[in-house]
Amino acid sequence: MAELILKTLTKTYIQAQPPAVDQLNLAVRDGEFTALLGPSGCGKSTTLRMIAGLESVTAGEIRVGGKLVNELHPKDRGVGLAFENYALYPPLKVRDNLAFNLRAHGLGVKEINRRVDEIARTLQIQELLDLKPVALSSGQKQRVNMARAMIRRPSVLLLDEPLSHLDARLRVELRTEIKRLHAEQRFTTIIVTHDQLEAMALADRIAVMNEGKLQQFDTPLEVFNHPANEFVAGFLGEPPMNIFRTVVDSGRLVIPGAEFALPITPSMQKLIGSRKESKFGVRPWGIRVSQTATAGSVAGKVTVVEDLGDETRVGVRYGDILIMSSIPVTRRYRPGLPVYLNFNEEDLNLFDPTTGERLSDSSNPLRSVADETRNKDKIQAQVTR
């Protein structure tokens, strides 16, 4: 396995149009699991195809284990691409499915057998070698599928939406299986997905992309808790983050034309600076609902309650804005009831109203540096484990 470096990687299909992938810089560490996450058309699949050699590079570099592979044939790049489940050949035994590519490359029978046994041991599928795909469980199929991509000893394993066409139950099962496999093997892996839960669950770090550009590259929790901009904030999380426009009005953030006024605390003031307005973001779990007013709480009236078994969601409307909170199961709140919303300060996200960038405390850069160091250590620990 090896590290993978993308340096100002760019793909332009039509000169006059914005690039499909725009100066992408990404350093994937040896053994790391990275997710390329974004909506359709964000450039994630194009990026994967460029790495695999299925798509030419307009500008920039792709380095696998330090070696520039831009001009190499796909089979010489040291990358293995795993397709979906059903790409296994049904009439062939698992053993022959694995050997198929090696035979095509003219390897000798002895060497092929040796490699099949070796990869089967690694992925713990020895007892499956003489079965046909139809006899395998979904988890076993996933292992065989990975084994087939890995048998040619790629330096980097590429997974292209491996779960997206499966039903929900199977998807959850296979997600667990892939995560487990990676924990066992620590092969350098890149997965392309549009499913934020999949990216969060699997990846050591997530590269969020939009319109060909990298938005943020960080650990799942960091991307989730400290999104770099409004796009990232809105793309990750289900139910979605409440994001709405507020204006600064005599020391408070207010929703224009509605009865929402949140006192601006000193630390919020530092972020807002001289701005006249700010996008306000808070996840449904970052709001406490109560029936008594406290300092800094915002009064409102419940307009919708959803009882969802493990949680209750309470909605309070301020003009066009419906703020949804997620709280432990309760029957206390019903539509029409006056309530107070309390916003945990550490769960608040403020974004620049024009650029959408997260407002950060420039006078206190220590915090973000500390975060960065901590994340690095954490990934290093995982990799070397």
Q: Binding to other proteins by residue 224, rule CB under 8 A?
A: yes
Q: Phi and psi at residue 144, in whole multiples of 5°?
A: -65, -40
Nearer to other proteins, 6 or 199 (CB): 199
Q: Which is nearer to other proteins, 71 or 259 (CB)?
A: 259
Q: Which stretch binds other proteins (CB under 8 A): 13-21, 105-113, 200-208, 254-262?
A: 200-208
Instruction: Based on the shown chain and the rule CB under 8 A, indicate whether residue 383 belongs to the binding site for other proteins.
Output: no
Beta strands in 231-330 (DSSP E): 242-249, 252-254, 261-263, 277-282, 287-290, 298-307, 311-318, 321-328
Total residues contacting other proteins by CB under 8 A comes to 45
Identify the residue among 7, 63, 245, 313 touching other proteins (CB under 8 A).
Answer: 313
CB of 195 to other proteins, least distance (A): 9
Token pair, residue 247, equals: 């204006």
| Binding segment toward other proteins, per CB under 8 A, in 4-12, 78-86, 310-318, 356-364 | 310-318
Dist. CA 178–CA 192, nearest whole Å:
14
Residues 331-350, one symbol each (x = binds other proteins by CB under 8 A, - = not), give xx--x---------------
Is the CB of 285 or the CB of 340 nearer to other proteins?
A: 285
Tokens of 100: 């198929």
* Residue 205 near other proteins by CB under 8 A: no
* Binding of other proteins by 190 (CB under 8 A): no
Among 87, 293, 322, 369, binds other proteins (CB under 8 A): 322
Where would I find the beta strands (DSSP E) of the chain? 4-11, 21-28, 33-37, 59-64, 67-68, 79-82, 156-160, 189-193, 205-210, 213-218, 242-249, 252-254, 261-263, 277-282, 287-290, 298-307, 311-318, 321-328, 338-343, 348-351
176 binds other proteins (CB under 8 A): yes
41 binds other proteins (CB under 8 A): no
Q: Could you tell me the two tokens for 308?
A: 């969802």
CA-closest candidate to residue 220, choices 200, 192, 240, 248: 200
Question: Does 252 help bind other proteins (rule: CB under 8 A)?
Answer: no
Which residue number, 116 or 314, has a Cβ lying nearer to other proteins?
A: 314
Q: Does 385 bind other proteins (CB under 8 A)?
A: yes
Which of 82, 178, 94 is closest to 135 using CA atoms? 94
Binding segment for other proteins among 29-37, 119-127, 244-252, 329-337 (CB under 8 A)? 329-337
- Is the four-CA dihedral 260, 264, 270, 276 of positive or negative sign? positive
Q: Choose which of 156, 200, 214, 341 interacts with other proteins (CB under 8 A).
A: 200
Q: How many CB atoms lie within 10 A of CB 96?
A: 15
Q: Please state the length of the chain.
A: 385
| CA neighbor of 80 nearest in space, from 151, 5, 144, 139 | 151
Minimum distance from residue 199 beta carbon to other proteins (Å): 10
DSSP conformation class of 144: H
Q: How far from chain centre, in Å, is Cα 121?
A: 30
Q: Smallest gap, in angstroms, from Cβ of residue 6 to other proteins?
A: 25
244 binds other proteins (CB under 8 A): no
Beta bridge partners of 158: 81, 190
How far is CA 38 from its chain centroid? 8
| Binding window for other proteins (CB under 8 A); candidates: 104-112, 122-130, 305-313, 351-359 | 305-313
Question: For other proteins, which is the closer residue by CB, 134 or 168?
Answer: 168
**Where on the chain is the footprint of other proteins (CB under 8 A)?**
168-169, 172, 175-177, 179-180, 183-184, 197, 200-202, 220-221, 224, 234, 236-240, 283, 285, 303-304, 306-310, 313, 315, 317, 320, 322, 324, 328-332, 335, 385
